[in-house]
Structure 1
Amino acid sequence: MKKYIIYTAILALGLALGYVFFGTNNEGSSDNHGSHTSESAEGEIQMWTCSMHPQIMQPEPGDCPLCGMDLIPADAGAEGLALNEIRMTKNAMSLANIQTTIVGNASEGENNSLMLSGKIMPNEEANAVQASYFEGRIEKLNVNFTGEKVRKGQLLATIYAPALVAAQQELLTAATMKESQPALYNAVRNKLKLWKLTEKQIEQIETSGKVSENFPIYATVSGTVSEKLAEVGDYVSQGQPIVKVSDLGTVWAIFDAYENQISQLKEGQKITVTANAYPNKEFEAVVSFIDPRLNTQSRTVSVRVTLNNKEGVLKPGMFVVSKVEMAESNENKEQISIPASAVLWTGNRSLVYVKTNPDEPVFEMREVGLGAKSGELYTITDGLSNGEEVVTNGTFTVDAAAQLQGKRSMMNVGEEMEIDPLHHLEGIERLKVPSEFRIQLKAVFDDYMVMENALVQDNAEIPQNTASTLLKSIRKVDMKLLKDDDAHNKWMHLNEGLQEAATEISRTSDIKMQRDNFITLSAHLINAVKTFGIDQKVYVEYCPMVNNDVGAFWLSTEEEILNPYFGASMLRCGEVTDEIE
């Protein structure tokens, strides 16, 4: 009993002291808080948002433009953000491996050079074909293997030639009548000379009075045997090649340049070549030839340089890399280059995400003008300034975050930020593509529908498994089928976004996370189906209540609404916003 009295006394004393100290301090805190609010109002711009539509952000109080509710002060997480800015958490940045790069002038470092890949080939101008000058059977071949070196004047082969045997007999007969019939004698000698018999050989036949059955063929050039075209015992006709000989004292380096690089190349331009076999050795040369024809399959042209190879270190078939120095100009000095991975391409616009706050993960979408592409770098002609920081890895993840927050994104690049069910389809033009490409895209759509139907049924196991199949279908879509540059570039970016979303779904069994990534997957696939077609009529459906009332779209083969984002809890929430024929 005494113990409980002591505990009660201690509790009463604690309450009394708490009132004295914390009660007084609270009053002071209220004053301080009011003072702090005032200072904040004087030093920072207070942003206002809507409790139902957090994507709305305005610098003044008023009504929400979407629902009409009174705006409330934005919390600290959204404070200071511009209308088109998004903030990501450091944890999200780390998980998505989002990386940024500070952009600089194109003329700085190696950005002022063009990198090309190619391989060493024999110099065709120094190639020679050793042929048989008369018809016959090869009795002996002195070239044993490809790659063997031969010298000019070296015996290559011995041939039995019946026609030459007869011609020798004619010579011996004409030699007995050369005084009386000199014209006949000279005609027979010239005939043998046309078969490449030397004056010495002809005189030897006359002197010996004997007919030779086998005749030699000598090399007319020095070099390396690049190909054997006949074997011992083969019958060859007059003029038929026996071996090919290449003089590797000089070789060609053949490079592939993409069509958007052609304007930066010209004959006579200096070039530095490095072979994979000799990474620390550079070979200097100049561009000697640019193929006037474009390879329509690879969209490249061949660029050729001739390299001195007296030491024989460059072997045909070797892989080489070239660095072509770009001529400096005032225009180049003002240009900026960024990695190609930083650029999102929507068909009509090229977009990047700029980090607007150097100390915080705050990003803003920016439209830029693209110049020529050099290797993995794009030259920026408009939209970025030297020293700005752009996202170069995880760009699609940042874009997906912008979509989820209702901000400007790849799927919504208009000036108005209100969620318009039809806005994302405006301006998407149907492009003509081969039927084979549409069939491959249809396989992607079919896997997508398997995933969607499972989400409708609140099943998280099937989407995770189907995502792997979907990834394979996406990777099987052959980009080389697209001959048009616009179609090629658009699919390249949509393909990357589809793969990122499908990969995220394959990594989780959490149906909420699957549905969040399904928003991004659907956005990109809608764009793809609208652009290329799949030879099937599909419906675009929209629910304004998905993702905290930001809204989201999905594709369906039926007009009936079956919501994959809510499943059984709100199965019929949504409407058809478009039909894609």
Structure 2
Amino acid sequence: MKKYIIYIGILGVGFLLGGLIFGSLSTKSDEHNHKTTETKNQLWTCSMHPQIMQPEPGGCPICGMDLIPAEADGNGLEANQFTMSQNALALANIETTIISSTSNLASNIILSGKINENEKTNAIQTSHFGGRIEKLFVNSTGEKIDQGQLLALVYSPELVTAQKELLTALESKNNDVSLYNAVKNKLKLWKLSENQINKIETSKSIITNFPIYANVSGVVTMKMVEEGNYIKEGQGLFMIANLNTVWANFDAYEKQLSSIKKGDEISITTNANPNKKIKTKISFINPVLNTATRTVIVRAELNNRNGELKPGMFVKGQLTSKKDLSQKEVLITISKTAVLWTGKRSVVYVKKQGITPIFELREVILGNELGDSYEILEGLNAGEEIVTNGTFTIDAAAQLQGKKSMMNTPGGKVMTGHENHTMDMSELTTLTFGVRGNCTMCKETIEKAAYSIAGLLKANWNVDKKKIEVTFNSNKTNAIEIHKAIAASGYDTEKFNGDLNAYNKLPICCLYDHTMKMNQ
């Protein structure tokens, strides 16, 4: 009996020791796994520049100080997240929208463009003989002319001499017909009609001023000569455009070309009559890309027999891009107001699910411009909630809390830390004012001009409302300086007219109407 008791005791002690040993190993393993996970997800930041976040230790790209492990705050937020109170959100009128996805079977692409003459019907009225212009019957551009209309009277010494030769040859016609025919053909080469030649032979008098008649009908788009000018044979007098048909030339961005094909239907509206839609098809896509603007000319030919379409008019084209049904693609779009532009980056603010409002910056890749929205190629998913109104306020809050913001690019310089001082909200001024422009290319130029001013933190120009919202440090700059910078880039503001030399160098789609309403 004692033997069994001893065996049972030994077995109990064995179980006890085994539990202690293996339990300790299990605890160490759990601790190791936990530490490994922590190390894997660990971010490193700078104590003086908390907006810097690196996945591994090293030096701060701004000040060179050693990075320290970034810790989640007391609310359990990640180092890249920040909060705003419900009261602050209400005062700033912050609005959010949940992203929804739609079928990508058809999407609308908006193109900006301009009416131009149909180059196929353009003609240059030339003189068929040299001389001095004695009288012009067309004195300004824009005049409408008909084929056969008298345009000018020209005194030509060569024609005077040729007429004398004709009358001499006429007298000896019976003896030398070949000489008569040669002189007559010479006059015909100068476009003298048979009736004009017969009139000279009948009257036996020399015509000093010869008429020039229009070869085609159309509108004079360029006047190349003045009365009293000496002209050479073949020299141009007028450029004439037949405006019964015109071209609508649009600038298409490089990223839009995959959705645009020759023969696609396009609906065109003009600023002069925005309620009237002209439906036609794309007739030409330029095979050469403009390397300066990264755009390609897309053209549609329009009937203009009623003369409503004037060359130089600004137009918008809405093109429906149809996708193959077998592709079954999903299209994610967001409002233009949700996007902040900073150089080549496009960013939005995502609101995390939960009771407390938590926001984080998200960089996105934009696709086509679809009316008031942008197509999202990468960076967002359906069902996520994003800020669509008050994005600048959210961005300012992120920057003041030392979080990633629109202005805080990796390794970039920001206005926090020991470089000067931590910015006080009282130093920030936000205002809006009108700026004329047409398209997203205008937006890039206008905002780039604004950002050239030291002390400017945010700039967002609204394409549809023709106004810009800016936030700047009032200790470093003022509104007038921002107005001047934008005007110098070629764009009218409420206080200054755009520089004409800069305006003339803008792409075709950016040549806005100087009378358009702004700050709508």
Normalised to the residue count of structure 1, the TM-score between the two structures is 0.56
Instruction: Give the SS at the match of 2:161.
Output: helix
User: Alpha carbons of 1:263 and 1:314: their partners in 2 closer, same or farther (altered >3 Å)?
Assistant: same
Q: How does 1:333-352 map to 2 (within 5 A)?
A: 333-343=329-339, 351-352=347-348
Stretch moving more, 151-160 or 175-184: 175-184
Q: How does 1:60-71 map to 2 (within 5 A)?
A: none
Structure 1 residue 147, shift from structure 2 partner: 1.5
Whether 1:100 aligns to 2:96 is: yes
1:503 paired residue among 471, 480, 483: 471
Structure 1 residue 346, shift from structure 2 partner: 8.4
Rounded to whole Å, the distance in 2 between the matches of 1:368 and 1:146 is: 50
User: Alpha carbons of 1:329 and 1:105: their partners in 2 closer, same or farther (altered >3 Å)?
Assistant: farther
Whether 1:355 aligns to 2:380 is: no
User: Alpha carbons of 1:171 and 1:227: their partners in 2 closer, same or farther (altered >3 Å)?
Assistant: same
Structure 1 residue 308, shift from structure 2 partner: 0.5
Structure 1 residue 236, shift from structure 2 partner: 1.5
Residue in 2 that maps onto 1:31: none
Deviations 1:455-512 (A, max 9, x none): 49x9x89x949x89xxxxxxxxxx99x99xxxx9xx99x998555999364399xxxx
Is the contact made by 1:106 and 1:112 (CA closer than 8 Å) also made in structure 2?
A: no
Report the AA paired with residue 287 of structure 1.
I
Whether 1:289 aligns to 2:284 is: yes
Stretch moving more, 126-135 or 380-389: 380-389
Residue in 2 that maps onto 1:90: 86
Is the contact made by 2:154 and 2:211 (CA closer than 8 Å) also made in structure 1?
A: yes
Structure 1 residue 197, shift from structure 2 partner: 0.7
Report the AA paired with residue 167 of structure 2.
L
Q: How does 1:151-170 map to 2 (within 5 A)?
A: 151-170=146-165
Residue in 2 that maps onto 1:251: 246
Structure 1 residue 384, shift from structure 2 partner: 3.1
Structure 1 residue 336, shift from structure 2 partner: 0.7
Structure 1 residue 280, shift from structure 2 partner: 1.1
Deviations 1:45-100 (A, max 9, x none): xxxxxxxx9x9xxxxxxxxx9699xx99x6xxx48x77865432233224444333
Report the AA paired with residue 214 of structure 1.
N
Rounded to whole Å, the distance in 1 between the matches of 2:205 and 2:228 is: 25
Instruction: Give the SS at the match of 2:275.
Output: strand
Rounded to whole Å, the distance in 2 between the matches of 1:97 and 1:289 is: 46
Instruction: Give the SS at the match of 1:257.
Output: strand
Identity, % of aligned positions: 49
Deviations 1:509-559 (A, max 9, x none): xxxxxxxxxxxxxxxxxxxxxxxxxxxxxxxxxxxxxxxxxxxxxxxxxxx
Structure 1 residue 232, shift from structure 2 partner: 2.1
Q: How does 1:413-424 map to 2 (within 5 A)?
A: none
Structure 1 residue 295, shift from structure 2 partner: 3.0
Deviations 1:324-372 (A, max 9, x none): 1111335574021224553467899865322333876333445555444
Structure 1 residue 297, shift from structure 2 partner: 3.2
Residue in 2 that maps onto 1:199: 194
Whether 1:127 aligns to 2:155 is: no
Residue in 2 that maps onto 1:303: 298
Whether 1:178 aligns to 2:173 is: yes
Stretch moving more, 354-363 or 344-353: 344-353
Instruction: Give the SS at the match of 1:231.
Output: coil
Rounded to whole Å, the distance in 2 between the matches of 1:304 and 1:67 is: 55
Is the contact made by 1:353 and 1:391 (CA closer than 8 Å) also made in structure 2?
A: yes
Whether 1:381 aligns to 2:349 is: no
Structure 1 residue 229, shift from structure 2 partner: 1.7
Residue in 1 that maps onto 2:44: none
Structure 1 residue 145, shift from structure 2 partner: 2.5
Residue in 1 that maps onto 2:184: 189
Rounded to whole Å, the distance in 1 between the matches of 2:337 and 2:456 is: 10
Rounded to whole Å, the distance in 2 between the matches of 1:411 and 1:135 is: 67
Structure 1 residue 191, shift from structure 2 partner: 1.1
Report the AA paired with residue 228 of structure 1.
K
Whether 1:260 aligns to 2:247 is: no
Deviations 1:367-397 (A, max 9, x none): 5554445566432234433343312344354
Whether 1:392 aligns to 2:360 is: no
Deviations 1:218-261 (A, max 9, x none): 11111112122222222211111222211110111122222222
Rounded to whole Å, the distance in 2 between the matches of 1:348 and 1:204 is: 74
User: Alpha carbons of 1:190 and 1:381: their partners in 2 closer, same or farther (altered >3 Å)?
Assistant: same
Report the AA paired with residue 290 of structure 2.
N
Report the AA paired with residue 262 of structure 1.
L
Residue in 1 that maps onto 2:313: 318
Stretch moving more, 253-262 or 240-249: 253-262
User: Alpha carbons of 1:186 and 1:229: their partners in 2 closer, same or farther (altered >3 Å)?
Assistant: same
Deviations 1:84-137 (A, max 9, x none): 65432233224444333333346589x811111122111121111111111112
Structure 1 residue 178, shift from structure 2 partner: 3.1
Q: CA RMSD in A?
A: 4.4
Instruction: Give the SS at the match of 1:116.
Output: strand
Is the contact made by 2:458 and 2:472 (CA closer than 8 Å) also made in structure 1?
A: no
Rounded to whole Å, the distance in 2 between the matches of 1:495 and 1:186 is: 84
Q: Indicate the structure whose relative CO is greater, using CA pairs within 8 Å and at least 6 residues apart.
A: 2
Rounded to whole Å, the distance in 2 between the matches of 1:320 and 1:192 is: 49
Rounded to whole Å, the distance in 2 between the matches of 1:209 and 1:97 is: 92
Is the contact made by 2:457 and 2:473 (CA closer than 8 Å) also made in structure 1?
A: no
Q: How does 1:1-12 map to 2 (within 5 A)?
A: none
Rounded to whole Å, the distance in 1 between the matches of 2:344 and 2:305 is: 52
Report the AA paired with residue 161 of structure 1.
S
Is the contact made by 2:267 and 2:317 (CA closer than 8 Å) also made in structure 1?
A: yes
Report the AA paired with residue 210 of structure 1.
S
Report the AA paired with residue 342 of structure 1.
A
Is the contact made by 1:357 and 1:363 (CA closer than 8 Å) also made in structure 2?
A: no
Instruction: Give the SS at the match of 1:317.
Output: coil
Instruction: Give the SS at the match of 1:92.
Output: helix
Matched residue count: 385
User: Alpha carbons of 1:171 and 1:368: their partners in 2 closer, same or farther (altered >3 Å)?
Assistant: same
Stretch moving more, 404-413 or 309-318: 404-413
User: Alpha carbons of 1:332 and 1:293: their partners in 2 closer, same or farther (altered >3 Å)?
Assistant: farther
User: Alpha carbons of 1:97 and 1:504: their partners in 2 closer, same or farther (altered >3 Å)?
Assistant: farther
User: Alpha carbons of 1:406 and 1:505: their partners in 2 closer, same or farther (altered >3 Å)?
Assistant: closer
Residue in 1 that maps onto 2:135: 140
Contiguous gaps of at least 5 residues in structure 2: 1-46, 51-67, 431-440, 461-468, 477-520
Rounded to whole Å, the distance in 2 between the matches of 1:495 and 1:323 is: 39
Structure 1 residue 200, shift from structure 2 partner: 1.6
Rounded to whole Å, the distance in 2 between the matches of 1:209 and 1:409 is: 91
Rounded to whole Å, the distance in 1 between the matches of 2:456 and 2:257 is: 26
Rounded to whole Å, the distance in 1 between the matches of 2:274 and 2:383 is: 32
Report the AA paired with residue 257 of structure 2.
I
Rounded to whole Å, the distance in 2 between the matches of 1:220 and 1:411 is: 62
Report the AA paired with residue 258 of structure 1.
Y
Rounded to whole Å, the distance in 2 between the matches of 1:146 and 1:186 is: 41
Is the contact made by 2:142 and 2:220 (CA closer than 8 Å) also made in structure 1?
A: yes
Normalised to the residue count of structure 2, the TM-score between the two structures is 0.62
Report the AA paired with residue 287 of structure 2.
P
Report the AA paired with residue 187 of structure 1.
A
Rounded to whole Å, the distance in 1 between the matches of 2:133 and 2:320 is: 52
Instruction: Give the SS at the match of 1:379.
Output: strand
Rounded to whole Å, the distance in 1 between the matches of 2:348 and 2:316 is: 30
Report the AA paired with residue 181 of structure 2.
N
Rounded to whole Å, the distance in 1 between the matches of 2:395 and 2:294 is: 30
Rounded to whole Å, the distance in 1 between the matches of 2:378 and 2:233 is: 66
